A and B are shown apart, each in its own frame.
Chain A
Amino acid sequence: MSALDAIAPPPSPTAEPTGEAGLGPWAAAWRRLRRNPSGIVGAVVVGLFVLVAVLAPLLAPYQPATGEWFGEVTPTAVPGPSADHVLGLDSFGSDLLTQLLYGARSSLVIGVVSTAVGLAVGAVLGILAGGLGGWVDTLVMRIVDILLSIPSLLLAVSVAAVLGRGQWSIMLAISAAQVPIFARLLRASLLAQRGQDYVVALRSLGLRQRRIVVGHMLPNSLGPVLVQATLVLATAVIEVAALSFLGLGAADPAVAEWGRMLVTAQDRLEQAPQLALYPGLAIAVTALGFTLLGEALREALDPRSDR
């Protein structure tokens, strides 16, 4: 083992010499991240979003999608803010604030699960392609090419149409669109390392290919994967909304889901624009948070990248 330990793999986040001497690559990246104001904003927004999603049952004043006050909604008017309902009601007679808070919950669950599945499947494909090479690489990349030849929304629509409506099919639909992204990323990262001195050295020491890839090359790809996953989460939040906007989400139209709320809001746009405004802003702000955080992570992990 001692011979192996002597060959330190190049740290994936390149450490800058100035003022960061003595810091490990991850510590240096963490330090750069903390000094990036837009990264902090992103982290705060993401943190709040996660907090709201997790604590929705505690924060929300009522139960979601009950339609309890349906009697107060008339064909011409939806009650606005009042003492009982801070943001007013939605068009199905549920508390709007409650719907929004629970909407964060379903966005987070769908976004995180789909990204995790997309990452896992994409990573396996990318590792097979980049780690083994040869005909496996060709085959995997052809599959990825086919997946990429379909616009992601359409890919998601077809997956959701096969599986029927509901949150599960939205999750799988979004991960299907993410698989090629992660597969390409990992393959490229592994291929770039293949010729590097430390890999050649490990191989000459007699390490098996699997051990080199899993134990040494993969950890070095962690940075780019982390960045991509954060950025993909931003897209996932928008795509969840887009798919339920298209009617592929839960069958119940009164469900607490931001995209679905926006669709139903359209029928009453003239009388109650707030029904569209709040969920739309929620989607945009959440996506903004993940994008800012993702780009700050990219800058922190790769100081050479220009702003």
Chain B
Amino acid sequence: MLTLIVRRLGLLVLVLFGLSLLLFAWVRALPGDPARALLGEKATPAGIAEITARYGFDRPVWQQYLTYLGRLLRGDFGASINTGEPVLSTFAQRFPATIELAVAALLLAVVVGVPLGYLAARRRGGLLDNLAVGGSLLGVVVPVFFLAVLLKYVLSIWLGWFPTSGRQDARIDATHITGFYVLDGLLTREWDASWDALKHLVLPALALGSIPLAIIVRITRASVLEVLSEDHVRTARAKGLARGVISRRHILRNALLPVSTTLGLQAGALLSGAVLTETVFSINGIGSYLFDAVNQLDYPVLQGFILFIALVYALVNLVVDVSYGVIDPRVRVS
């Protein structure tokens, strides 16, 4: 187990190192003067001189790379061309919104997907099974941004059940501690703030949750079907165990292992989906930050974004792999 963690952390360092080289080469490969590229349209001779001195663009390339690496190690990811704000602090400020959205989407997917997949497998070939299989196919092929636009039109513009955009009504004077608005409301006992944030969260979470939901239904169904045909389940039945006990201890426990690993693999898809969902619902998370950065070619933000996400992504996958070993003792042995 420990060797696994050490090896994976080693790989992570390697990956980040490789990425930093690529990202460094990227800005160097931009046409023209790198200082001018970093400053974008706002480049003035004085600004160019300052950036050139600060990043050492007049020095040899390998020295520049070392400086860049040193900055990264100290947590300096550069500043946005457009706002001048340090990339890292903007991330810290916006990350809770994205996490809140992703967690809500994942929660929704698990709470709906696991029972649905289980029931579909128990009644294989039935109406529910066909609906679940068909629905999960739809979940895969309907783009998340289209679903988001559809939900927004039908449920908020047309029916008016949910707010169209944002995270919380601006008129609510809410106290923010953690940056997770729903949680903040609960902590400060501002119930109306929490309720309002929740209402804002429903549609984006539905849209984003469609990706993991489809996959969770499929995997749960397939893995329950597999476990159902195994000898130990037949034995449990033969010795007259209660149905509920068989379902919980013998079927679900074994069937949920593959589901838990796929959750980790969903991290990347969730993140990509969050970028798209946030733009539709105007949520100020890191997704919309990326959207703006792409559209304004804000290189420092893009650079920082890629490094940061690769780090988060790798750590999430590491945690999932380790937890898999904790859940299933057989993994530890091999």
| Chain A residues at the B interface, C-beta cutoff of 8 Å | 142, 145-146, 149-154, 157-158, 160-162, 234, 238, 241-242, 245-248, 259, 262, 265-266, 269-270, 273, 276-277, 280, 283-284, 287-288, 291-292
Q: Say how far A157's CB is from chain B's closest CB, in angstroms.
A: 6
B residues in contact with A291, CB < 8 Å: 137, 140-141
Interface residues of B in 296-323 (CB under 8 A from A): 297, 299, 302, 305-306, 309-310, 313-314
CB contact under 8 A between A161 and B297, given known A246-B275, A265-B149, A283-B146: yes
The answer on a CB contact under 8 Å between B309 and A150 is: yes
B residues in contact with A270, CB < 8 Å: 157
The answer on a CB contact under 8 Å between B272 and A284 is: no
Q: Say how far A121's CB is from chain B's closest CB, in angstroms.
A: 16
Whether a CB of chain A sits under 8 angstroms from the CB of B200 is no
The answer on a CB contact under 8 Å between B291 and A246 is: yes
B residues in contact with A262, CB < 8 Å: 145-146, 149
A residues in contact with B157, CB < 8 Å: 269-270
The answer on a CB contact under 8 Å between B276 and A284 is: no
Q: Which of B269, B295, B297 contacts A151 (CB 8 A)?
A: B269
The answer on a CB contact under 8 Å between B268 and A280 is: no
Whether a CB of chain A sits under 8 angstroms from the CB of B115 is no
Cα A36 to Cα B152 with chains together (Å) = 37
The answer on a CB contact under 8 Å between A288 and B269 is: no
The answer on a CB contact under 8 Å between B11 and A145 is: yes
Query: Could you say which of B14-22, B47-55, B167-175, B256-264 contacts chain A?
Result: B14-22
The answer on a CB contact under 8 Å between A273 and B302 is: no
Interface residues of B in 194-241 (CB under 8 A from A): none
Question: Secondary structure at chain A's binding surface: helix, strand, loop or mixed?
Answer: helix
Cα A238 to Cα B268 with chains together (Å) = 16
Q: List 11 A-B contacts (CB under 8 A).
A: A146-B14, A150-B310, A154-B305, A161-B299, A241-B143, A241-B145, A246-B291, A246-B294, A247-B295, A276-B149, A280-B142
Whether a CB of chain A sits under 8 angstroms from the CB of B290 is yes
Whether a CB of chain A sits under 8 angstroms from the CB of B280 is yes
Q: Which of A247, A277, A280 contacts B143 (CB 8 A)?
A: A280
Q: Say how far A70's CB is from chain B's closest CB, in angstroms.
A: 24
The answer on a CB contact under 8 Å between A238 and B141 is: yes
A residues in contact with B153, CB < 8 Å: 269, 273, 276
**Nearest-CB residue, chain A, relative to B270:** A151
Whether a CB of chain A sits under 8 angstroms from the CB of B150 is yes
Whether a CB of chain A sits under 8 angstroms from the CB of B26 is yes
CB contact under 8 A between A242 and B29, given known A142-B14, A146-B15, A247-B294: no
Q: Say how far A261's CB is from chain B's closest CB, in angstroms.
A: 11
A residues in contact with B121, CB < 8 Å: none
Cα A160 to Cα B297 with chains together (Å) = 10
Whether a CB of chain A sits under 8 angstroms from the CB of B193 is no
Q: Say how far B329's CB is from chain A's closest CB, in angstroms.
A: 27
The answer on a CB contact under 8 Å between B294 and A146 is: no
Cα A228 to Cα B271 with chains together (Å) = 24
A residues in contact with B314, CB < 8 Å: 149
**Nearest-CB residue, chain B, relative to A148:** B268
B residues in contact with A277, CB < 8 Å: 150
**Nearest-CB residue, chain B, relative to A241:** B143
The answer on a CB contact under 8 Å between A162 and B26 is: yes
Cα A151 to Cα B308 with chains together (Å) = 12
Cα A151 to Cα B270 with chains together (Å) = 9
